[in-house]
Structure 1
Amino acid sequence: MNGKKALKIAGSILLGVLFLWLAFREVELSEVVESARGMSWFWILPFAVVTLGAHYIRALRWEMLFTNKEKVPTKTTLFTGVMFGYLVNIPLPRVGEVARPVYVAKQVDESSSKIIGTIVLERIVDVIGMLLLMAFVVVFLIADSQVLSRLFGIDITNSETQLDLILTLLTYGCIALVALGILYWMFKKIGEQTEGKAAEFVHKIQKIIRTFVDGVLAIRELKNWPLFIFYSILIWVFYISMTYIGFFMFDMQGEFGLGFTEATVLTVVSAVGIAIPTPGGIGTYHLFITKALFIFYAVPEATGLAYATIAHAATLLLVMIVSPTLLAIDKFVVMKKEGNTQQRTKNIQD
């Protein structure tokens, strides 16, 4: 591991520690423990089922972006890739976004850069979905929209702030596309003027850029748009359901009247928190959920922090248990498939 990577990892860990400190600094740890003791552990099971369901739907949607029909991974491989990515993200924030496509690429002998392109496309779709859901929450679900400003520190209900956010996203997107175009053109020109190993290297870089762009543009070859949109909506429905089921762990649906509407609001808040690069969302999720429950619905911070801690810990524990299991299963399935292929080849030769 080089110094730059080590510095990034150390920075993300420190950021996570900072947010954890911010979440716990005004709360007595004994009160959090007491709230956790009184929770209903039964609801961990449906919480886990819905969590895995969300990840499996993500794998099904990802499958639709594979345009080379001869190299479409199995659903088991795709689901394993999704879970493996989340596993890597726990110690190494954002690295899982690369580990996931690289794993799947090796399983189907496909270009890693092309599959990474599909992940970029996925993230673009997710950001659009989050922005649409956020707009819905701000317009229809928040009675006093100014409380969002207290939570995020900026007035996101202001039209100028919203316009700035959209323009910033569009600007970065355009810069990325232009940069890729310039890089491809530069390597093309260099390739025309070089020979030997240097030319081979340049052509290899060109191919990587081209296959990456092909992955991003896989959306053009999407055949079933209604199903793709349905999966995208269903992922968010599952995420909201995870939050909603968590209320029953601490009887917040009864004591504070929290329902699916409130779960939708909290899901948007948590999505913003998790977007901050800390290991596995540690610290940011705890702080944002605790403050949102307190500011929006007057849930005591000790209860809110206990809820955030248990929900987050259950999610991480599920990833750490299921991911290695799926990796073993997928490896067994692939080995069995290769064995069957070799046996058929041998029978034909005989």
Structure 2
Amino acid sequence: MSKILQIVLPLALGLFLIWYAYSRFTPEQLGQLRENFLKADYTYIWLSMFFGAFSHISRALRWNYLLQPLGHRIRTPNSIMAVSIGYLLNFAIPRSGEVSRALVATRYDKVPFEKAFGTIVAERIADLLISVCILFTALFLQFDILWGLVDTGNINPGKIGIIAGAGLILALVCYGYLKRTKSAPGQKIKHFISGLKEGVLSILSMKHKGPFILHTLFIWAMYVLMFYICIFAFPETQHLSFSETLSLFVVGSFTIAFTNGGFGTYPFLIAGAIALYGIDYTIGTSFGWIVWISQTAVIVALGSLSFLMLPVYNKSR
């Protein structure tokens, strides 16, 4: 039941937000939304989708650089399919895709689960550093706009700090318990954490740091490009500067990171952010939907194909 609720409740919330947002549109605005979708230049949308696919492939290739110091390797097709399936599963349960990636590596390439998962955590640390750099760059270039979104969204930094502090205290308590316990479950957990730690620290011992860094930069360049190129799909958004587009990208990234792939929230938060630049809300909504649908289409297409092809490719195993 808990697993069902984890899937159903976020999707139900997303559907409610979609209904609530559209219930506020007048018939004329709904007609304008349809016209916006029809007049968009989909050449740029297709380019955006190609950039998204390239980022997935690069992420799959980057993974092996972290596995090599551990004495393991995942075959490239399996790596690409594992990454694609992971993105797809994140739509159902946030962060479940990381677990599924490690399970694919364990099942088909005999990589110990805890080590595979540790390398994925190491990847996320590298990605976090890049995303923080992008965030601070956007704040430096467009501070007033981004802070205005935080202010109007009633986001309380103090509450976030309290939650983070409580999480840290809980982690310290768990660490103290595991350090002293002699129980069998405790020993299993310590063994898992040891393998996880080895996977995370593989980022320090890998031989090919240069290619890993280049792949990381390429992945995030593709992320930014697949968003930026979409502004040329509408005449009303073509005048947006790169710094303005970067601030919109940051808003969208946070939406995707903390929800089921931005389902039900991404288009309307992007519309609210883009309205601060004087662009009509219906244009912003259309822009947000087209960006979200195109990114989602890549994930669904690659993820579904990978689900079908993974057992076929590994038939002998």
TM-score (norm 2): 0.85
Displacement of 1:244 in angstroms is: 1.3
Aligned partner of residue 64 in structure 1, secondary structure? helix
Match of 2:257 in 1: 275
**What percentage of residue pairs aligned between the two structures are identical?**
25
Match of 1:341 in 2: none
**2:246 partner letter:** T
Q: Distance in 2 between matches of 1:263 and 1:107?
A: 41
Displacement of 1:271 in angstroms is: 0.9
Match of 1:39 in 2: 40
- Given the alignment, which residue of 198, 201, 212 partners 1:217? 201
The 1:153–1:61 alpha-carbon spacing in structure 2 relative to 1, beyond 3 Å, is: farther
Please, which moves more after superposition, 50-59 or 65-74? Answer: 65-74
Q: Distance in 1 between matches of 2:178 and 2:147?
A: 46
Whether contact under 8 Å (2:72, 2:111) holds in the other structure is yes
Match of 1:110 in 2: 111
- Aligned-CA RMSD value: 2.9
Alignment of 1:1-350 (within 5 A): 3-21=1-19, 23-27=21-25, 28-68=29-69, 70-142=71-143, 146-150=147-151, 152-154=153-155, 161=157, 172=167, 176=171, 178=172, 181-182=175-176, 184-187=178-181, 189-191=182-184, 203-254=187-238, 257-278=239-260, 280-295=261-276, 297-335=277-315
The 1:53–1:4 alpha-carbon spacing in structure 2 relative to 1, beyond 3 Å, is: same
Q: Distance in 2 between matches of 1:173 and 1:226?
A: 33
Q: Which residues of structure 1 form unaligned runs of 5+?
A: 156-160, 192-200, 339-350
Aligned partner of residue 258 in structure 2, secondary structure? coil
Whether contact under 8 Å (2:237, 2:279) holds in the other structure is no
Whether contact under 8 Å (1:31, 1:302) holds in the other structure is yes
Q: Distance in 2 between matches of 1:143 and 1:202?
A: 49
Whether contact under 8 Å (2:119, 2:200) holds in the other structure is yes
Q: Distance in 1 between matches of 2:64 and 2:78?
A: 10
Whether contact under 8 Å (2:256, 2:266) holds in the other structure is yes
Aligned partner of residue 227 in structure 1, secondary structure? helix
Cα deviation digits, residues 46-93 of structure 1 (max 9, x gap): 111101011122222322221456421122211111110111122333
Q: Distance in 1 between matches of 2:253 and 2:210?
A: 24
**Structure with max Cα Rg:** 1
**1:325 partner letter:** L
Match of 1:346 in 2: none
Whether contact under 8 Å (2:236, 2:283) holds in the other structure is no
Cα deviation digits, residues 283-324 of structure 1 (max 9, x gap): 2211221111111x2121111111111221222222222223
**1:270 partner letter:** G
Whether contact under 8 Å (2:67, 2:202) holds in the other structure is yes
Whether contact under 8 Å (1:102, 1:112) holds in the other structure is yes
Whether contact under 8 Å (1:88, 1:95) holds in the other structure is yes
The 1:222–1:233 alpha-carbon spacing in structure 2 relative to 1, beyond 3 Å, is: same
Whether contact under 8 Å (2:146, 2:247) holds in the other structure is no
Displacement of 1:172 in angstroms is: 4.2
Aligned partner of residue 183 in structure 2, secondary structure? helix
Q: Distance in 1 between matches of 2:74 and 2:169?
A: 31
Q: Distance in 2 between matches of 1:67 and 1:15?
A: 42
Q: Distance in 1 between matches of 2:116 and 2:211?
A: 20
Q: Distance in 1 between matches of 2:233 and 2:9?
A: 33
Q: Distance in 1 between matches of 2:76 and 2:263?
A: 29
Aligned partner of residue 299 in structure 1, secondary structure? coil
Displacement of 1:222 in angstroms is: 2.8
Whether contact under 8 Å (1:244, 1:259) holds in the other structure is no
Cα deviation digits, residues 90-144 of structure 1 (max 9, x gap): 2333322211221122111122122222222222333332222111111124465
Whether contact under 8 Å (2:178, 2:186) holds in the other structure is no
The 1:207–1:148 alpha-carbon spacing in structure 2 relative to 1, beyond 3 Å, is: same
Q: Distance in 2 between matches of 1:12 and 1:269?
A: 19
The 1:71–1:239 alpha-carbon spacing in structure 2 relative to 1, beyond 3 Å, is: same
Q: Distance in 2 between matches of 1:259 and 1:308?
A: 17
Displacement of 1:8 in angstroms is: 2.5
Displacement of 1:168 in angstroms is: 6.7
**1:190 partner letter:** S
Whether contact under 8 Å (2:69, 2:205) holds in the other structure is no
**2:253 partner letter:** A
Tell me the matched-pair count. 314
